[in-house]
Amino acid sequence: MYDPYAIMTIAVACLIGLGMASYATLKGWNGWLALKRFEVEREQAETAAPSTGSRIEVADLKERVRKLEAIAAGIEL
C-alpha cells in the first residue's frame, strides 16, 4: 500500500522537527528566566538598605536644612 521508506522518512523528519521546536522553546524559556532573574536582582539592589556613608550624608543635609530654616525664621543657634 504505502512505501515503508517514505513513512520512515516522514517519521524521522517529524522527530527532527519536534526536537528543533523543543530546543527553541527551551532556549526561549531559559532567556525569559534570565530576564526575570535580572529584574529581581535589580529590584533587590534598588530596595537595599542605604550604606552608612549615605545615611551620614542625609543626616548632614537634614542638619543644614534645619539651620537654614532657623536662620530664615530669625532664630540664632
pLDDT tens sequence for the chain (77 residues): 689 999 999 999 999 999 999 999 999 999 999 999 999 999 888 776 667 777 788 889 999 999 988 888 887 65
Contact (Cβ atoms closer than 8 angstroms) between residue 52 and residue 42:
no
pTM, whole model, 2 decimals?
Answer: 0.53
HSE-up of residue 59 (Cα within 13 Å, Cβ side): 7
Q: CA 28 to CA 9: how far, in whole Å?
A: 29
Alpha helices in the chain (DSSP H): 4-46, 52-73
Single-letter residue type at 22: S
CB 77 within 8 A of CB 70: yes
